[in-house]
């Protein structure tokens, strides 16, 4: 380093003007407010965790979603499972699995006295193999964390795969409803006049039509497909979005920045999509977050009625329907899918409420 | 007021035309027909059946014939129930759904309004958090989860009500429509509670309430006389969508509790391609919803004079 280098260490550098004047943006402000709302943050984290659970969970479970095991029908959660090994001439011919609740129905336990039976059971529980007749029984490492259904399928894996469909349909159908609702509302609100009156009248009329009924008819009449499912749901859930967007846009369009854009000679579409819609994104995000649980609920209702997702695919609605049928004998088949479904709805509703308070403090009721 | 009602009734016409046309086209264009069964009947038989019901005519003829019959109030014969007309099927099954729906609405209001008022008056205390957490759980526990759970607890464990349907009525002290109504009522009660709380809070912060407090009006009177009327506005607006929701909710509870209501008939008709029963049910539902929305609007207008103008 040479001597003529200026000594700058003692000079206090004033903060640049840009930085000093930088206010907090709407989004930063909203994020700060959202972070203070504990329930909303818990909801957000919870939803992300459930989504991850469904997306990557199946890679950590040693069973496939369609894998059936006839001998393992309706296992209780965490029920010990015994391997039944059939040997012939010292070679293992066949291995299958028996849950603890059915082991006493095995021939080896029916035909012997009570003392022998208890002794055999105790031996098995200690982890020692038990030879009885043609079979050797031994406790196995196989475990079904949440039990199995009536076809011996692992419930945990089915819940993960079902969740992919449920959450996927929820997000996709909401996206469809945002697309229709925002464009419709923005056009109606910005162009105004008679067109606005007619367009909003149509929305009013559509509101009075029993739409769930039409979705049901669509699902019955058309060949079942998951694409159709979320298109149909999305096509009925856009009305409220259109109303919200239209209201905000028709208030915004008289503001100076729109006048400036008009005087610059920008086209209507350009003004709507580049200048107006970004300004209503807050409400759109809030309402979308609240639409997702509604859509998921509708999907589950359809699946519950046997009209939504068709086998071999499953969704939480399908699993709840299956579980509800056998609630007396295998309550866990209803309990676990219902719990994760409700938990997801909880998370999304809390997140939506929190976002509303954060992005639109005026509408907050507190 | 009469003009207002008349205008709304006029709106019924385009709604019905749209509903009928869309349903008609959807049903007719769908693959399969009312007589395609797993055991194939001979083509001649199917032909004669189609001719009997007039399903062999060109679509426009069928369409206008249906409209003409509808104008006379006839919804046509049902192919699922050969001995009954659609009018008879609706007359037999709708009272069941109506009873469940009315009781459900009553339960929703009876739980929801007091809970919401309590939460708003005691805002940010335990009496606010507790009912509101219950309300949130009510919204997140959909009817098809709540239904089976209530059926197990009250039907199979406590034997208070029967859950096998009205036909298999044992002598239980809960009427057979109670559990389905409770299932629906708790769900909508949760919404009502949240809306009541929001509406009440909005009114409670207004100047005229503070004036009343300053004048020394006792707080019970402030709530009942001054706040409730305005505070319940969101609940009144919600009644319209809630009614439509009760109809689709009836599909679920009638399945869970095996009730012979209209919702069950509708789903069955859709699966069986029973054209006139599908159309009849949808038209019936549409009229019902529009008329109910009209009633809600009238109540609204009566409560809030600004709307009338």
Contacts of B152 in chain A (CB under 8 A): 327-328, 331
Q: Please give the pLDDT value at position A18.
A: 58
Q: What are phi and psi of B30, to 5 degrees?
A: -70, 145
Q: B123 and A366 in contact by Cβ < 8 A?
A: yes
Kindly give, in sequence order, each residue whose CB lies less than 8 Å from that of residue B91, ignoring residues fewer than 6 positions away.
none
In this structure, the dihedral spanned by the alpha carbons of residues A200, A201, A207 and A211, taken in order and rounded to 10 degrees, is -100
- Partner residue opposite B145 with nearest CB, options A211, A217, A320: A320
Contacts of B122 in chain A (CB under 8 A): none
**Rounded-to-integer distance, Cα B93 and Cα B167, Å:** 13
Tokens matching residue B239: 């009644």
**Rounded-to-integer distance, Cα A127 and Cα A82, Å:** 10
Statement: residue A75 has pLDDT above 80: no
Q: Please give the pLDDT value at position B169.
A: 54
**Rounded-to-integer distance, Cα A227 and Cα A163, Å:** 16
Contact (CB, 8 A) for B176 and B164: no
Residue A319: asked if its preceding bond is cis (omega within 30°), the reply is no
| A175 touching chain B per CB within 8 A | no
| Model pLDDT for residues B250-305, shown as the tens digit of each residue | 888 888 888 888 888 888 887 777 777 888 888 888 888 778 877 887 887 777 76
**Rounded-to-integer distance, Cα B150 and Cα B163, Å:** 9
User: What single DSSP character describes residue B77?
Assistant: B
Q: Please give the pLDDT value at position A10.
A: 56
Q: Please give the pLDDT value at position B32.
A: 64
**Rounded-to-integer distance, Cα A281 and Cα A270, Å:** 16
| Model pLDDT for residues B61-84, shown as the tens digit of each residue | 778 888 887 777 777 777 777 778
**Rounded-to-integer distance, Cα A211 and Cα A235, Å:** 10
Q: How confident is the model at residue B167 (pLDDT cuts 50, 70, 90)?
A: low
Tokens matching residue B38: 């797993």
Q: Please give the pLDDT value at position A365.
A: 41
Q: Please give the pLDDT value at position A153.
A: 78
**Rounded-to-integer distance, Cα A355 and Cα A33, Å:** 9
Q: Please give the pLDDT value at position A108.
A: 66
Q: B244 and A300 in contact by Cβ < 8 A?
A: no
Q: B18 and A205 in contact by Cβ < 8 A?
A: yes
Contacts 24+ apart (CB under 8 A), A99-105: A99/A72, A99/A75, A101/A75, A101/A76, A102/A71, A103/A137
Contact (CB, 8 A) for A336 and A35: no
Place of tokens 């529009």: B290
- Higher-pLDDT residue of A355, A91: A355
- Partner residue opposite A301 with nearest CB, options B144, B148, B290: B144
Q: B140 and A301 in contact by Cβ < 8 A?
A: no
Q: At what angle do helices B262-272 and B275-303 cross, to 10 degrees?
A: 140
10 Å CB burial of residue A139 (0-12, 13-18, 19+) is middle
Q: B15 and A338 in contact by Cβ < 8 A?
A: no
Q: Please give the pLDDT value at position A1.
A: 44
| A286 touching chain B per CB within 8 A | no
**Rounded-to-integer distance, Cα A55 and Cα A49, Å:** 10
| B16 touching chain A per CB within 8 A | no
- Higher-pLDDT residue of A168, A15: A168
For range A15-30, the mean pLDDT: 63
Q: How confident is the model at residue A34 (pLDDT cuts 50, 70, 90)?
A: confident
Q: B136 and A334 in contact by Cβ < 8 A?
A: no
For range A217-233, the mean pLDDT: 76
Statement: residue A20 has pLDDT above 60: no
Tokens matching residue B253: 């509870």
Tokens matching residue B205: 């912060």
Statement: residue B38 has pLDDT above 60: no
Candidate from A34-43, A47-56, A102-111, B118-127 with smallest mean pLDDT: A102-111
Q: B148 and A342 in contact by Cβ < 8 A?
A: no
User: What single DSSP character describes residue A148?
Assistant: B
Kindly give, in sequence order, each residue whose CB lies less than 8 Å from that of residue B70, ignoring residues fewer than 6 positions away.
B20, B283
Strand partners of residue A98: A82
CA-nearest residue to B199 within chain A is A365
Q: What are phi and psi of A10, to 5 degrees?
A: -85, -15
Q: What is the DSSP track for A201-234?
A: HHHHHHHHS-HHHHHHHHHHHSPP-HHHHHHHHH
Tokens matching residue A213: 């009924």
Cα dihedral sign, A289-A295-A301-A304? negative
10 Å CB burial of residue B170 (0-12, 13-18, 19+) is exposed
Most A CBs within 10 Å, among B140, B263, B290, to test the A interface? B140
Q: Helix or strand or coil: residue A326?
A: coil
Q: Please give the pLDDT value at position A6.
A: 53
**Rounded-to-integer distance, Cα A272 and Cα A279, Å:** 10
CA-nearest residue to B145 within chain A is A338
Place of tokens 């009144």: B236
Q: How many C-alpha atoms does A238 have within 13 Å on its Cβ side? A: 25
| Model pLDDT for residues A270-319, shown as the tens digit of each residue | 888 888 887 787 778 878 888 888 888 888 888 888 777 777 778 888 88
Highest mean pLDDT among A180-189, A205-214, B127-136: A180-189
Q: B267 and A331 in contact by Cβ < 8 A?
A: no
10 Å CB burial of residue A132 (0-12, 13-18, 19+) is middle
Q: A210 and B244 in contact by Cβ < 8 A?
A: yes
Q: At what angle do helices A239-252 and A277-304 cross, to 10 degrees?
A: 170
Q: A365 and B197 in contact by Cβ < 8 A?
A: yes
Q: A209 and B289 in contact by Cβ < 8 A?
A: yes
- Partner residue opposite B152 with nearest CB, options A221, A328, A342: A328
| A225 touching chain B per CB within 8 A | no
Per-residue burial over A248-259, b if 16 or more Cβ lie within 10 Å, else e, is bbbebbeeeebe
Q: Please give the pLDDT value at position A364.
A: 44
Place of tokens 């069955």: B268
Contact (CB, 8 A) for B129 and B223: no
**Rounded-to-integer distance, Cα B283 and Cα B296, Å:** 20
ipTM exceeding the 0.90 mark: no
Q: B19 and A209 in contact by Cβ < 8 A?
A: yes
% pLDDT > 70, chain A: 81
Statement: residue A366 has pLDDT above 50: no
Q: Which of A291, A281, A290 is nearest to A177 (CA)?
A: A291
For range A197-226, the mean pLDDT: 75
In this structure, the dihedral spanned by the alpha carbons of residues A107, A108, A114 and A119, taken in order and rounded to 10 degrees, is -150
- Partner residue opposite B289 with nearest CB, options A208, A222, A345: A208
| Model pLDDT for residues A118-155, shown as the tens digit of each residue | 777 777 777 777 676 677 777 776 777 777 777 767 78
| B233 touching chain A per CB within 8 A | no
Contacts of B201 in chain A (CB under 8 A): 365-366
Q: B147 and A324 in contact by Cβ < 8 A?
A: yes
Contact (CB, 8 A) for A79 and A144: yes
Contacts of A331 in chain B (CB under 8 A): 152
């Amino acid at each position: 380093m040479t001597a003529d280098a200026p000594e700058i260490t003692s000079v206090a550098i004033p903060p640049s003007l840009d930085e000093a004047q930088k206010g907090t943006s709407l989004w930063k402000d909203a994020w700060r407010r959202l972070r203070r709302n504990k329930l909303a943050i818990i909801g957000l984290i919870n939803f992300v965790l459930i989504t991850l659970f469904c997306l990557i969970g199946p890679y950590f479970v040693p069973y496939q979603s369609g894998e059936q095991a006839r001998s393992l029908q309706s296992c209780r959660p965490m029920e010990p499972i015994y391997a039944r090994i059939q040997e012939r001439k010292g070679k293992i011919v066949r291995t299958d699995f028996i849950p603890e609740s059915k082991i006493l129905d095995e021939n080896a336990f029916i035909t012997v006295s009570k003392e022998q039976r208890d002794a055999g059971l105790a031996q098995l529980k200690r982890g020692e193999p038990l030879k009885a007749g043609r079979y050797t029984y031994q406790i196995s490492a196989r475990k079904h964390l949440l039990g199995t259904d009536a076809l011996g399928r692992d419930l945990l894996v089915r819940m993960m795969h079902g969740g992919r469909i449920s959450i996927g349909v929820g997000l996709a159908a909401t996206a469809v409803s945002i697309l229709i609702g925002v464009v419709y509302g923005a056009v109606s609100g910005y162009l105004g006049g008679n067109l606005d009156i007619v367009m909003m009248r149509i929305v009013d009329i559509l509101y009075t039509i029993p739409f769930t009924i039409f979705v049901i008819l669509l699902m019955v009449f058309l060949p079942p497909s998951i694409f159709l499912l979320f298109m149909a749901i999305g096509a009925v859930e856009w009305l409220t979005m259109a109303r919200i967007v239209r209201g905000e846009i028709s208030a915004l369009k008289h503001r100076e920045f729109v006048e400036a854009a008009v005087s610059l000679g920008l086209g209507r579409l350009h003004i709507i999509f580049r200048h107006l819609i970004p300004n209503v994104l807050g409400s759109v995000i809030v309402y979308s977050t609240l639409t997702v649980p509604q859509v998921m609920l509708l999907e589950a209702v359809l699946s519950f009625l046997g009209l939504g997702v068709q086998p071999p695919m499953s969704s939480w609605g399908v699993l709840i329907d299956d579980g509800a049928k056998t609630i007396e004998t295998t309550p866990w088949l209803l309990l676990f899918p219902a719990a994760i479904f409700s938990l997801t709805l909880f998370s999304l509703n809390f997140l939506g409420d929190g976002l509303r308070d954060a992005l639109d403090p005026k509408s907050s009721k507190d | 007021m009469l003009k207002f009602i008349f205008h709304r009734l006029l709106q019924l016409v385009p709604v019905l035309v749209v509903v009928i046309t869309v349903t008609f086209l959807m049903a007719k264009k769908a693959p399969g027909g009312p007589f395609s069964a797993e055991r194939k009947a001979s083509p001649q038989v199917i032909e004669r059946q189609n001719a009997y019901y007039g399903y062999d005519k060109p679509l426009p003829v069928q369409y206008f014939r249906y409209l003409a019959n509808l104008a006379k109030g006839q919804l046509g014969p049902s192919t699922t129930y050969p001995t009954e007309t659609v009018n008879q099927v609706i007359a037999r099954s709708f009272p069941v759904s109506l009873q469940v729906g009315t009781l459900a609405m009553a339960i929703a209001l009876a739980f929801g309004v007091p809970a919401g008022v309590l939460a708003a008056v005691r805002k940010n205390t335990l009496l606010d958090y507790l009912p509101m957490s219950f309300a949130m759980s009510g919204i997140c526990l959909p009817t098809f989860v709540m239904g089976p759970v209530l059926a197990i607890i009250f039907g199979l464990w406590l034997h208070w009500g029967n859950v096998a349907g009205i036909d298999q009525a044992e002598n239980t002290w809960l009427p057979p429509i109670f559990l389905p109504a409770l299932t629906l009522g708790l769900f909508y009660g949760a919404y009502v509670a949240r809306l009541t709380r929001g509406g009440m809070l909005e009114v409670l912060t207004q100047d005229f309430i503070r004036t009343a407090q300053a004048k020394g009006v006792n707080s019970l009177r402030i709530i009942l006389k001054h706040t409730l009327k305005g505070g319940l506005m969101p609940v009144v607006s919600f009644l319209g969508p809630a009614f439509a929701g009760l109809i689709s909710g009836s599909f679920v509870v009638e399945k869970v509790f095996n009730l012979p209501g209209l919702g069950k008939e509708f789903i069955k008709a859709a699966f069986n391609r029973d054209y006139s029963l599908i159309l009849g049910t949808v038209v019936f539902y549409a009229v019902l919803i529009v008329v109910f929305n009209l009633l809600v609007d009238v109540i609204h207008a009566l409560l809030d004079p600004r709307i009338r103008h």
